[in-house]
Amino acid sequence: MILINSGKFLMGTEDGMSYEAPVHEVTVKSFWMDRHEVTVAEFSMFISATGYKTDAEKFGWSGAFNLKTGEWKKTKDANWRHPDGASWLP
């Protein structure tokens, strides 16, 4: 893992979606991050070994991106196993 030092940055935009505005300063505390991305297979092994439940699994929903509208939508049963929700499952 690597340490990401605390700092400030400007978040938001005046040119994008209305919910992305306004541009404002954000302060982030130092935190640790994996040096390399975690694959779904690696995350699955972690879940199996620990029994960890993600927030989406606890809540029973998550945001799913709608390619047709270009917007995020609250989607029932969406989680890391079913990013578009479980409604598409047979």
pLDDT of residue 88: 55
Its sign, for the CA torsion 53, 84, 66, 41, is positive
Given pLDDT bands bounded at 50, 70 and 90, which one contains residue 11? Answer: very high
**Residue 63 corresponds to which tokens in the numbers above?**
């945001």
DSSP structural state of residue 13: -
Q: What is the pLDDT of residues 45-86, one digit of tens each?
A: 999 999 999 999 999 999 998 888 888 899 999 999 998 887
User: Is 6 within 8 Å of 29 (Cβ atoms)?
Assistant: yes
More confident residue, 66 or 10: 10
pLDDT of residue 84: 87
Global pTM value: 0.62
